[in-house]
Amino acid sequence: MQPVRPVLSAFSLISLMAVGNVSAEEAQIAVAANFTAPMKAIIELFEEDTGHEVKASYGSTGKLYAQIKNGAPFEALLAADQKRPELLEEEGVGVPGSRFTYAIGTLVLWSADADKVEDGPALLESGDFNKLSIANPKLAPYGEASIETLEALDLKASIEPKLVMGENIAQTYQFVDTGNADIGFVALSQVMQGGEISKGSGWVVPGDMHAPIRQDAVILDSGKDNPAVTELFAYLQGEKAEAIIHDFGYETE
């Protein structure tokens, strides 16, 4: 099901941004681990522009969803999928009409070794690596996309013995960055800077090898009356935030 973008008129957006400095508030938000770097950059600009403060907790979408269901004091969720925000809406925890796709993610097979990944499918088929790191597909959408990619290449069964799973995409990246795994499927945003892979080597997985990684955000019931949360959601759809999102290799609608 396609997300419904928040119903915010041009007047509403201008009004929200205009009142940002009148009464500074604090927002408590949960953010998917793959979006850590761009979100930190967005928060810095948002705080400068509005005077509000944002406290963000980063982790796997599955764990963040479970924490919200168990009463964690978050006021909004920026997930790595559409499923959990949809569920929160259906369960009466998410604010109807607030959900939208803030980013569309890209998967990359990456190695910290600049010479390791030249032809991704050929490398995977050769087995010339010690371990392949992926995020836990039960908790992280990027892990699901990794499994779907291996299935598309008809390599899942042969590579399974070499899989090492991170709890989230941040841990998955750490396994590769520290050399505990030669290669790993990570988010392009984790290794991209200025429009290119900033270190190591990688193969950008074609989008038709897995389901689209559409990342939805939703305001939670506890945050519906907090102007810092409402303004942050408007800010995420503005030009400054979109420029940062694109710089880290994501697409937007």
Q: Residue 13: what pLDDT?
A: 46
Which residues are CB-neighbours of 43 under 8 A, at least 6 positions away? 54, 56
Radius of gyration (Cα) for the chain, nearest Å? 19
How many contiguous H segments (helices) and E segments (strands) does the chain have? 11, 12
Q: Phi then psi for 134, rounded to 5 degrees?
A: -135, 160
Q: Residue 54 has what pLDDT?
A: 98
The Cα–Cα gap between 123 and 102 comes to 33
The pLDDT assigned to 142 comes to 93
| Backbone angles phi and psi of 18, in degrees to 5 | -70, -35
Q: Is 14 exposed, middle or buried (0-12, 13-18, 19+ CB in 10 A)?
A: exposed
Strand pairing class (132-135; 100-105): unpaired
Burial class of residue 174, CB neighbours in 10 A (0-12, 13-18, 19+)? middle
How much is the pLDDT for 84? 96
Domain definitions of the chain by residue range: 10-104+214-247, 107-204
CATH annotation of 107-204: 3.40.190.10
What CATH topology corresponds to 10-104+214-247?
D-Maltodextrin-Binding Protein; domain 2 (3.40.190)
3-class DSSP assignment, residue 165: strand
Backbone angles phi, psi at 251, to 5 degrees: -100, 160
Neighbours of 211 (CB within 10 A): 13
Q: Which residues of the chain have pLDDT under 70?
A: 1-22
Token reading at 178: 């520290």
